[in-house]
Amino acid sequence: MATLSGQTIANTFDSILHVEDDTAGLVASSTDSRVIQDGVGANSALALATDSVRITSTNKLYINDVGGEYISGDGTDLTIAAGTDLNLTAGTDINIPVNVGLRFGDGGENIETDNTDFTITSGGKLNLTATSDIHTANATGVVFGHTAQETISIGDGATDLVPEVQVLGTGQVDSSLMLASFSTTATAAGAPLIALVKGGNATIGSHTVVTDGEELGNIIAYGDDGTDLEAPAAMIQFEVDGTPGTGDMPGRMIFATTTDSGETLTERMRIDSAGDVTFTGDLIMADGKGIDFQNDASPSAGMTAEILDDYEEGTWDAVVTDVNSSTTMTMHGSYGTGYYTKVGNLVHVSGRFATTSVEGLASEDIRITGLPFTVANNNAARSGGGVAYGVSFDITAGESVSYYGKVNTTDIILLIWDETTGQSSMLASEWSDDGQIMLGFSYRAA
């Protein structure tokens, strides 16, 4: 082949490029690159070595003159400009050194790793758009609002549990979770669902039947006790309640709370697979509210109400007095109090009552006052009975004593069956200083 030497051609053609000359000749080595000069000896932006091509600072290497694609450097940053897309095609990985990131735009958006954590920083929203699901490996969690996970207990206040998904914040607005469905479907298919699922197999995706009594899931509320977050306050637990099988999963719900000065959950209410409800404490109704039996399939034809709205029991103090309550007899210290039980508006009273002095009463009609509730003002509510036991009455042998609750009062009227046509009011003269009476009856309260 022909060999060109010297600058003969360069002297003839001003625009031709040649390698700069030096004492080493025109050879470009791997350690000593040579700048490409134009025909008049001016340096260009391009330098050559046996193993590299160098573009001098502030100049650009254009790949194409249509879309503006070029590579340039300023001694610090390397800039790759693309007219449209920048496509990186590699047979293996594209490696980025530790603590060196990829920055997008000028809003602070970048991706970076420190060999431990992988950090994605966004100046605004971080939008993940995928044509399939986003998967997180088993035993790998997601924490929102903090840089580390918090520890709770399994519900016993002692055994550590670190949930894999956590939403941590400093108020309701940044520590709440919402599941919302916007659908015209009025069935379950259009509504959000929270599913707690328990399988009997140790391999994810494999199926083994669970057993009777097995816990299927828990919803537990914890509070910070000043030391940690492991103390539970209340829980709803879901369990298998019977023998399960294909298409058969009997269940029960257990509601539990923690007593004061403790961190151990105790069962308070249970709803079993048959629908029966068991309480370990009292069922307290709000005033005026009760248990509604409106689903009774066979009520009486005269039924007027099906709500049991009251239950009460206690004591009541009886006083023997004249009909005008102007004078009361002295009651015996051991025989002045009776019992009562109120179910709905039905009151049952009982007691043994005695006096130690009639306090001068003689010809006046007498009665017992002090019923715990006023007798309903309705003829259908009237009730009474006969005296089961009486002592120191001044009545004729064969005569009997009876009584009834007077409507719209808390009085018991005493009667003597001493007339051929019926009875008459009992007089103070028919009751001695140490008189005693035993009675018990039910009446309708107002």
Whether 333 and 274 map to the same domain: the answer is: no
Whether 104 and 65 map to the same domain: the answer is: no
Whether 318 and 257 map to the same domain: the answer is: no
Whether 440 and 315 map to the same domain: the answer is: yes
Q: For the chain, what percent of residues have pLDDT higher than 90? A: 60
| 114 within some domain | yes
| 147 within some domain | no
Determine phi and psi for 402, rounding to 5 degrees: -135, 180
Whether 245 and 348 map to the same domain: the answer is: no
Residue 295 or 247, more confident: 247
Pairing of strands 422-425, 411-419: antiparallel
Contact assessment for residue 49 and residue 31, using Cβ atoms and an 8 Å cutoff: yes
Whether 422 and 357 map to the same domain: the answer is: yes
pLDDT above 60 for 8: no
With 0-12 / 13-18 / 19 or more C-beta atoms within 10 angstroms meaning exposed / middle / buried, residue 346 is middle
| pLDDT at residue 119, rounded to an integer | 87
Average pLDDT over residues 114-120: 86
Q: What's the rounded Cα separation, in Å, for the pair 157 and 222?
A: 9
pLDDT tens sequence across 236-259: 999 999 999 999 999 999 999 999
* pLDDT bucket at 177, cuts 50 / 70 / 90: very high
Tally of domains in the chain = 4
| 141 within some domain | no
Distance between start and end Cα atoms, the chain: 130
| 291 within some domain | no
Average pLDDT over residues 436-440: 97
What average pLDDT is seen over the chain? 88
Q: How far is CA 287 from CA 290, 310, 311, 347, in A?
A: 8, 9, 11, 18
| 245 within some domain | yes
- β-sheet bridge partners, residue 238: 217, 253
Q: What is the CA radius of gyration of the chain?
A: 49
The reported pTM is 0.67
Q: What's the rounded Cα separation, in Å, for the pair 224 and 237?
A: 21
- β-sheet bridge partners, residue 34: 48
Q: What's the rounded Cα separation, in Å, for the pair 389 and 401?
A: 9
Whether 250 and 320 map to the same domain: the answer is: no
Which strand (E) or helix (H) includes residue 144?
Answer: strand 142-144
pLDDT tens sequence across 13-33: 455 555 555 544 445 555 566
Whether 373 and 267 map to the same domain: the answer is: no
| pLDDT at residue 241, rounded to an integer | 98
| pLDDT at residue 82, rounded to an integer | 82
Whether 272 and 372 map to the same domain: the answer is: no
| 200 within some domain | no
Whether 272 and 393 map to the same domain: the answer is: no
Contact assessment for residue 81 and residue 64, using Cβ atoms and an 8 Å cutoff: no
Whether 108 and 57 map to the same domain: the answer is: no
pLDDT tens sequence across 46-96: 666 666 677 766 777 777 765 678 888 887 888 888 878 888 888 888 888
| pLDDT at residue 25, rounded to an integer | 46
Q: What's the rounded Cα separation, in Å, for the pair 360 and 73?
A: 125
Whether 67 and 116 map to the same domain: the answer is: no
pLDDT above 90 for 358: yes
Domain with 59 in it: 8-81
